Structure 1
Amino acid sequence: MIKYLRAILFPFAILYGIVVFVRNKLYDWGIFKSRQFDIPVICVGNLAVGGSGKTPVTEYLVRLLSTYKVAILSRGYGRETKGFVLADDTATAKSIGDEPLQYYQKYPEVTVAVCEDRITGIERLKEAHDLIILDDAFQHRKVKPGYSILLFEFEKMRRAQWLLPSGNLREPFSGYKRAQQILITKSPETVSLRDKERINARFSRFPAKDIAYASIEYHALQPVYRTGKAINMPSKSAETTVFLLTGIANTKPLLQYLEGQYKQVVQHRYPDHHKFSLGELSALRKAFEAHQDTEKLILTTEKDAQRLLDASIKDLLLNLPVFFLPIKVDIHAGDQHHFNQEILDYVSRHTRNRSIH
């Protein structure tokens, strides 16, 4: 079915590809202007729509660059506000988006802002910060980052990828040439030499030393709601049933992990950045309460948890065992030093930071 649908949409993908190709060339030739800034600007992006792991990679950079005053600038996908918004203690997923809210709550020392116009956002942030991380801005050609990290999912690199609307590529694959480093995310802990050679060969004009591989590192479950009461943390158990609530682009790696840890995983799956309705969460609660197992819990992702903090939703789920599963990106040992050093060198070389660091 997907094969036939892709064939039907292929002419539209060709038209889309031509438009994107011409747009990129106009930027490359300087006919459309890109703006550079006198401050390190690191872009974390991808060529595909959603699901490549930009959030944990952005968090990795925050930890790597912790000696600098860092600002994260995002579009704030899914928010109900417009323009430049600086995250503060009143911020919600509705006001700044789920991922920026996650950054703000986890890294209070970092400035988090959202703005659909990245030039305006950088202008507002540049004087008070040493560097700016742009979350998901690789196609925002009005800004020319000093350093771009482009992410690709391991599994998707093992098969052909197609342009929208036939596939999920936002621009032709050749766009990778604008990046300084490529990171293959959600890789197995050990990548075979054959897989590496096959994947690296797809980046024929890119140095192999600048292609790194990373896996997902799962951490202990955390409660979504902190009520001050003692919480019995669930253990990984072959006797526990998990009700998995997600609004992310790709649930496959998470599902594979959970199915290896728990008795059963009951999915309540929605599209990326989905705004959970009270009806949907009421259905989840009913299904959870009606399930015969005594050992059971509701689990979501850290990003999705941000959208469960709304007062009305919290009232509905507060007395249930609702947890999120934190993740980190684990860059493979053979690639980590070079990956880190290239980024640190880029930031330290910048004239504004030489006398400080």
Structure 2
Amino acid sequence: MQPYQYFMYPFSLLYDGITRLRNRMFDTGVKKSIVFEIPTIVVGNLAIGGTGKTPMVEFFVENFKGSHELACLSRGYGRKTQGFILAGSGATADELGDEPFQIFSKYGHEITVAVGEQRILAIPQIIAENPATELVVLDDAFQHRYVKGDMNVLLTTFQKPFFEDHVLPMGTLRESREGAKRADVVVVTKSPKELEERTKQEYIAKIRPYVKKHCPVLFAGLNYGEPYNVRSHEKADVQKVVLVSGIANNKLLKEWVEAKYELLEVLEYSDHHHYNEKDLRFMLERMEAYRDENPTLLTTEKDAVKLNANKFLPYLQEIPIFAVPVQVKFEEKDRDTLLDMASKVIRNKAYQSEV
């Protein structure tokens, strides 16, 4: 712990007290949680910042879109709009937020994508727009307790697990570690490849005091795919890279790029950054500086959906921008455990609706 964090302790106590009171009100029924007739899977975390929620949401989309009429609902953090919006043709990242727009860009022809701060109101609107909806996956809704999820998936990173973290502002937790009791399954994301069983057991032992008795603890890494051109979706021979990232933590991304390519420079922006023409001009300048190296401008899919905007077309014609797809990667046993849990929730809910 850094010395300055101790000065934040009184403020953390206050924040912790407020969030504990709020949770207590839900636990005792003073505040009401609604259970919907259709199954809901909640993906979330205790901490602010990137724990891999979007890849996890896409994991559920990939595995259930072919068998169920699926909807993905997000708050739409960072968008320039408010209220409920059902994504349709002509939707933009500014309208939906970067992560929901990323999901819509990839899966919008197969699933329903919507955003809305008040999920308790947004779910009925989704059903009204598409009465055939059979499953709703809620992105970043672990603290949105007005909706009682049928399956709560809690994510925590291997690099900064919640059991070593503290409540804001002393740490990055949105609520106390005890909030993990609401989880039906914990997934330790961004785990290293070939993680030793001893290390897994150490993490499980430290997580166990905070979760329900039979709550599974699973491990997942990230799998980076081959970069593709954001305009043409064609792949190319990438060798030397100028990396652009506007994500919460780009450490693993940089390590992957350095291992696979020659990394010339990193242009770092804040999480959910709204790119403007000044940013694109700067990117063009940096690419010009490395002209003799024949560089590729590489970025995340999350950033790519914002950079691939019509207003930036003049720059995109001069800078070929390539996006790196990323997927959550489970060992087969953990993957099967998570999918079996989700399938059971869906079957049970379908049975209840028939009775």
Q: Is the 8 A contact 1:258 1:265 kept in 2?
A: no
Give the direction of change, closer, same or farther, for the CA distance of 1:10–1:265 in structure 2 (3 Å limit).
farther
Q: 2: CA distance between counterparts of 1:114 and 1:32?
A: 23
What is the CA deviation profile of residues 266-322 of structure 1, one whole-angstrom value per residue up to 9, with x for unaligned ones? 111111101112112211210110125423110110011111122222322322221
Following TM superposition, by how much is the alpha carbon of 1:353 offset from its aligned partner in structure 2, in angstroms? 8.4
What is the CA deviation profile of residues 235-267 of structure 1, one whole-angstrom value per residue up to 9, with x for unaligned ones? 4x4xx2x11111100101101111111122411
What is the CA deviation profile of residues 26-67 of structure 1, one whole-angstrom value per residue up to 9, with x for unaligned ones? 111111111111110110101111210111111110111120
Aligned pair 1:103/2:109, yes or no? Answer: no
| AA at the equivalent of 2:219 | Y
- In structure 1, runs of 5+ residues without a counterpart are none
Q: 1: CA distance between counterparts of 2:352 and 2:91?
A: 31
Aligned partner of 2:62 in structure 1 is: 63
Aligned partner of 1:214 in structure 2 is: 220
SS at match of 1:215: strand
1:5-20 correspondence to structure 2 within 5 Å: 5-20=4-19
Aligned partner of 2:274 in structure 1 is: 275
1:107-186 correspondence to structure 2 within 5 Å: 107=107, 108-126=109-127, 127-157=131-161, 160-186=164-190
SS at match of 2:194: coil
Aligned partner of 2:78 in structure 1 is: 78
Q: 2: CA distance between counterparts of 1:93 and 1:253?
A: 24
Aligned pairs, number: 347
Q: 1: CA distance between counterparts of 2:264 and 2:17?
A: 43
SS at match of 2:319: coil
Q: Is the 8 A contact 1:72 1:110 kept in 2?
A: yes
Give the direction of change, closer, same or farther, for the CA distance of 1:62–1:129 in structure 2 (3 Å limit).
same
Q: 2: CA distance between counterparts of 1:31 and 1:39?
A: 24
Q: Is the 8 A contact 2:274 2:306 kept in 1?
A: yes
Q: 2: CA distance between counterparts of 1:155 and 1:89?
A: 39
TM-score (norm 2): 0.93
Q: Percent identity?
A: 37
| AA at the equivalent of 1:119 | I
Q: 2: CA distance between counterparts of 1:195 and 1:14?
A: 31
| AA at the equivalent of 1:269 | E
RMSD, matched Cα: 1.9
| AA at the equivalent of 2:206 | R
Give the direction of change, closer, same or farther, for the CA distance of 1:142–1:335 in structure 2 (3 Å limit).
same
Following TM superposition, by how much is the alpha carbon of 1:234 offset from its aligned partner in structure 2, in angstroms? 2.1
SS at match of 2:42: strand
Q: Is the 8 A contact 1:38 1:352 kept in 2?
A: no
Give the direction of change, closer, same or farther, for the CA distance of 1:315–1:207 in structure 2 (3 Å limit).
farther
Aligned partner of 1:233 in structure 2 is: 236
SS at match of 2:58: helix
Following TM superposition, by how much is the alpha carbon of 1:331 offset from its aligned partner in structure 2, in angstroms? 1.1
- In structure 2, runs of 5+ residues without a counterpart are none
Q: 2: CA distance between counterparts of 1:87 and 1:158?
A: 33
Aligned pair 1:328/2:327, yes or no? Answer: yes
Following TM superposition, by how much is the alpha carbon of 1:20 offset from its aligned partner in structure 2, in angstroms? 0.5
1:79-94 correspondence to structure 2 within 5 Å: 79-94=79-94
Q: Is the 8 A contact 2:243 2:263 kept in 1?
A: no
SS at match of 1:156: coil
Following TM superposition, by how much is the alpha carbon of 1:210 offset from its aligned partner in structure 2, in angstroms? 1.2
| Farther-moved stretch of structure 1 (294-303 vs 343-352) | 343-352
| AA at the equivalent of 2:90 | T
Q: 2: CA distance between counterparts of 1:115 and 1:287?
A: 38
Aligned partner of 2:349 in structure 1 is: 350
Q: 1: CA distance between counterparts of 2:50 and 2:338?
A: 21
